[in-house]
Each structure stands twice: as C-alpha cells, then as structure tokens.
Amino acid sequence: MSVAEETLALEAGDAPAAAARPRGISNVATLFLVTADFMVLAGLVAGYYGVRSQSFNWPPVGLGTYLPTMVALTIVMTVITVQWAIWSIRRDDQRTCLAALGVTIFFALAILNAQWYGLAHLNFGVGAHTYGTFVYILTAFHMANVIAAIVVLVAVLARTIGGEFSADDHDTLTAAAVFWQFCNVAGLVVFAVLYLHP
C-alpha cells in the first residue's frame, strides 16, 4: 500500500497507527543518513590532509601495517557476506539469509576487536603528534560506525529469525545492508588514508 493509498484509505476517526508503513522509507532515509555520515568522514579526511601539508616527520617511523591490512581484508569479505544476505532474501531463502547475517556480524565483531587491539598497542598517544591524533580520530570514527551497524545488524537478524522479511518485503534488511556497506567504504577510506597514502 503506497502512502497515498494509505492516506486515502483512512476513514474519519481511524487511528493512524492502523495504517501500514509506506514502502521504501527505510532505504531513502538510510541513504540520506549515510550521505551525512560520509560528509563527516570527508571533513575528517580533509582535516588530516590539511595538517599533513604543514607537518614534518610524516608519518612516524615504524608504524605497523599488518593488523590494519588484515582489518581491510576482513572488510572486503563482509562486502560480500552482507550482499549474500540480500541475494538470499530476494530468493525467499531465509535460512541462508540468516547465515549470511550471522557471518557478517561475526566479521564485524572481529574488525572491532582488531581495531581496539591495534589502538591499545600503538606506541604513541592521541596527543603525541598530529598524525597520531588522526590515527585515533579516524579509527574511532570507523569503530563507532561499526558498533552502530552491529546493533542494527543484530536487530535485523532477530527480525529475520522471526520471519519478518520476504522476497517482497525486505526494506529494513536492505537499509541495514546499505549502512554496513557504508561502514565498509569508510573503513577502506581510513585504511587508504592512514596507511596506503599517508
């Protein structure tokens, strides 16, 4: 039922709660939210390159890239697993969708764990130098988004278990996947900025 039909179907005195939620709202709203989130990332990256042009000793010697590379590879894997969930639900295959979501959440937790470990074992603090500051800021920005996405993915997983999604109705699942894919793009941008093109 489109929102227009919903509006016209409301008879005098009907409670609005009785009307069905219009389709596509989750997806459109998520795209706007992701756009705003991307602009925050763009602002931080612009700030990074702003100080980079001023600072010497850039980046500090001895910065390890092994763990960040592993995180980036895990991110690439989840690009596929979350899309696998969407492909599955489009075929009404709820069991496979559930498995794909479970694997995505597992990888997301692994990413979070690796990034936390990496920050905890850096040999410089937030205020040591401007490069270090942006390592913390950009990594924390990505981690905050991953935490939010895990909450969303777990909620979507629970609704999938409850059989709420089908081939015809999976807007919320798609919206969650879009948000997770944004987290992936953000993670890869952070990796590229801090470690590939510092």
Partner 1 sequence: MTTAEEPRTDSSQGYGALLGGTDHKSVGAFCLVLAFVFLLTGGVLAAVLRTQLAQPNPDVLARKPYLQLLTFHGSFSFFLFLLPAWIGLAFAIVPLQLGAPRLAMPRLAAMTAWLYVGAAGFLVATAFAQKGAPANGWSMDYPVPIHGISGRGVDLWIFGVGLAALATILGAVNLLTTALRMRAPGLTLARTPMFTWSMMVSSAVFLLAGPALIAGLIVVYVDHHMGAHVLRVNRGGDPDIWRTMFAFFAYPAMWATVFPALGVVSEIVPVFAKAPLFNRKAAMFAIAGAGTLAFLGFGSELAGDPAIPQTLFSVTSVLILGPVALVMLTWLATVALNRKAPSLKAPMVQALGLLACLGLALPAMAVMEALARGGAGHQSQWWVGAWHQLLVGVATFGILAGLYYWAPKLWGRHLNAGLGGLQMLTVVGGVDLAFIPLLIVGAQGMHRRATTFSSDSWTPANLVSTIGAYLLAAGVALFLLNLVVCVVLKRGAIATDDPWEGDTLEWATTSPPPAHNFDSLPEVRSSRPVHDVRKAAATETSGPPETSPELVEANA
Q: What residue ranges bind partner 1 (CB under 8 A)?
A: 3-4, 6-12, 14-16, 19, 22, 24-25, 28-29, 32-33, 35-44, 46-47, 50-51, 54-56, 126-127, 129-130, 133-134, 136-137, 141
- Of the candidates 177, 196, 183, 193, which has an alpha carbon nearest to the alpha carbon of residue 141? 183
Task: Tell me the closest approach of the beta carbon of residue 58 to partner 1, in angstroms.
Answer: 9
Task: Tell me the closest approach of the beta carbon of residue 59 to partner 1, in angstroms.
Answer: 12
Task: Tell me the closest approach of the beta carbon of residue 99 to partner 1, in angstroms.
Answer: 30
Residue type (1 letter), 58: W
Closer residue to partner 1, CB minimum distance, 85 or 142: 142
Closer residue to partner 1, CB minimum distance, 12 or 121: 12
Closer residue to partner 1, CB minimum distance, 7 or 69: 7
Closer residue to partner 1, CB minimum distance, 105 or 193: 193
- DSSP codes, 115-154: HHHHHHT-SS-TTS-HHHHHHHHHHHHHHHHHHHHHHHHH
Closer residue to partner 1, CB minimum distance, 5 or 92: 5
d(CA 38, CA 40): 5
| Residue 127, burial from CB neighbour count under 10 angstroms (0-12, 13-18, 19+) | exposed
Task: Tell me the closest approach of the beta carbon of residue 131 to partner 1, in angstroms.
Answer: 9
What's the length of the chain? Answer: 198
Peptide bond into 22 cis (omega under 30): no
Task: Tell me the closest approach of the beta carbon of residue 80 to partner 1, in angstroms.
Answer: 28
